[in-house]
Chain A
């Protein structure tokens, strides 16, 4: 940009702004369209000459979705599943990542390589034995059976390790000289520094499990035990034409994720930058 005139630079900025807004609009178009369709009466949603904006606005779909499928139940299941997995996995990932980053011990390299290999395993490749295992542990068709296998995550361990690697060594030295226990150093000195990383990883865990289709689909043989994406996908398979209803369900399913993201948005890029994933 050097040696360019201010006029040229302004023109460049204007062009960039316009282009970026166009891209931004294109990115959110399917979501905006879903929201608008949720407000259309069913006859209009399935019209042969569709429009973007509803001709008649209605809240019918939002009230009907609760009885069309066990929506409240599905919502509850999804909150319990994604929420518990997030909390448990954050705890275990953080502890394991901390151990791999801040201590020297025999077996550390082996443990780290094992984590990296597990990060590469697509869970679809292990889903059949995992299903068997959960059933043989007596946890088949239970919420716990859905949650427990997800309560530690290789990517999470890797992510937290990167974060802890970036912290200066002298932080814990002082506490150690003062005779603080390792657990106390972890909870009182290191953990308070992890907020941006925890929020970022928390979002990843929450959205991944909130959105997951296959695992809840496999683990619940009835719609009552399923989560929202699985329930909506099953409903979409059986009721192909009720798009207005489906979109209302989808929009309601999106709300917690969008809220979560908007809440942590400020620390989000920092969370990734400070993990040293660079």
Chain B
């Protein structure tokens, strides 16, 4: 009993030694700033003078602010479109790229490469491709009579669509790899058994593939949703939130209000709204998938 306790004690000490540096850094540079954001959201603060407590003033202002409503709507629209489209495409690509065909490795790499490259950098390329005067894609669209006259990024409707398309393009490869890893860990004999039972392609997909991929589906859904709510780089570089704020999301707004206008208190309040949105959504997804999760 004594020996058992000392062994457990020694192990606990070792565990904390392994955990301490990482946890300390995360606490100092993530958890603490988060609490500070929450605090700053109740203040007026411009970095030049100390924060001044204003209670709920920022939140009251936020409720009546058309810009916040606009950014909130844009964020939700972006996430609601981009998340499911990305997941569906990623799953489809993973299934296709799990089949054997000539050049499979090459195509897998091609699909993954956009995830590796800098979105800020390729966003410049997209801006150029869609330029109304010099853009190759505009030129091609013009050839089939589809070109938007002022360029896709100068019109509210098409600007959002372009930014969304880039979001899907960028991330689909990453989630494809996650699904691919999952597909490869499904035991082959399950498919063989289903085959013997005379299951069709669709039945195999629904009875074997989907349940055994439920862990990946949960993780991919949560990560993809979080990433969608945090979209920043491509909007910052492609449209900077324009035209007429039609692509300004909450993060872009936090950046504009907080960093550019130095209204840190108000920017923090917008951050808190974004954070609550993400937390509520991730929890909802976690519990939704948690119920349906299959262990094997």
Contact = CB atoms under 8 A, between A and B. Distances in A.
Contacts of A253: 118, 121
Contacts of B47: 132
A229 interface: yes
Contacts of A182: 10-11, 14, 17-18
Interface string B1-33: 000000010111011111101110111111111
B268 A128 contact: yes
B242 interface: no
A46 B128 CA distance: 9
A143 to B, nearest CB: 16
B178 A229 contact: no
A11 to B, nearest CB: 12
A189 interface: no
B57 interface: no
A95 B18 contact: yes
Contact of A118 (B31, B40, B127, B134): B31
A130 B15 contact: no
Given A125-B272, A278-B181, A232 B124 contact: yes
Interface string A33-54: 1100100000001111111100
A19 B39 CA distance: 53
Interface stretch (A55-63, A64-72, A210-218): A210-218
Interface of B: 8, 10-12, 14-19, 21-23, 25-34, 36-37, 40, 47, 93, 96-97, 99-104, 106-107, 109-122, 124-129, 133-136, 139, 169, 173, 177-178, 180-182, 184-185, 195, 198, 201, 215-216, 219, 226, 229-230, 232-233, 236-237, 251, 254-255, 258-259, 264, 267-268, 271-272, 274-275, 278-279, 282
B178 A272 contact: yes
B88 to A, nearest CB: 14
Contact of A115 (B26, B111, B115): B26
A213 B232 CA distance: 9
A58 B158 CA distance: 34
A7 interface: no
Contact of A278 (B8, B30, B216): B216
Contact of A17 (B18, B34, B103, B282): B103
Contacts of A128: 33, 37, 40, 258-259, 264, 267-268, 271
Contacts of B93: 23
B111 A114 contact: no
B26 A118 contact: yes
A182 B18 CA distance: 10
A107 B231 CA distance: 34
Nearest to B25: A152
Contacts of A1: 201
Interface of A: 1-2, 13, 16-17, 19-21, 23-25, 27-28, 30-31, 33-34, 37, 45-52, 92-93, 95-96, 98-100, 103-106, 108, 111, 114-115, 117-118, 120-130, 132-133, 148-154, 157, 182-183, 186, 203, 207, 210-211, 213-214, 218, 228-230, 232-233, 236, 243, 246-247, 249-250, 253-254, 257-258, 260-262, 265, 268-269, 272-273, 277-278
B107 to A, nearest CB: 4
Contacts of A232: 120-121, 124
A7 B30 CA distance: 58
Contacts of B16: 99, 105
B125 A33 contact: yes
Contacts of A277: 178, 181, 215-216, 219
A99 B121 CA distance: 38
B134 A24 contact: no
B29 A45 contact: no
A105 B255 contact: no
Given A50-B136, A214-B233, A277-B219, A31 B114 contact: yes
Contacts of A103: 11-12, 14-15, 18
A131 to B, nearest CB: 8
Contacts of B96: 16, 19-20
A247 B119 CA distance: 13
A37 B129 CA distance: 11
A268 B118 contact: no
A272 B181 contact: yes
6 contacts: A30-B122, A48-B134, A124-B232, A124-B251, A125-B254, A273-B185
B113 A111 contact: no
B21 A124 contact: no
Contacts of B133: 46, 48
Contacts of B182: 273, 278
Contacts of B271: 124-126, 128
B274 A247 contact: no
Contacts of B126: 30
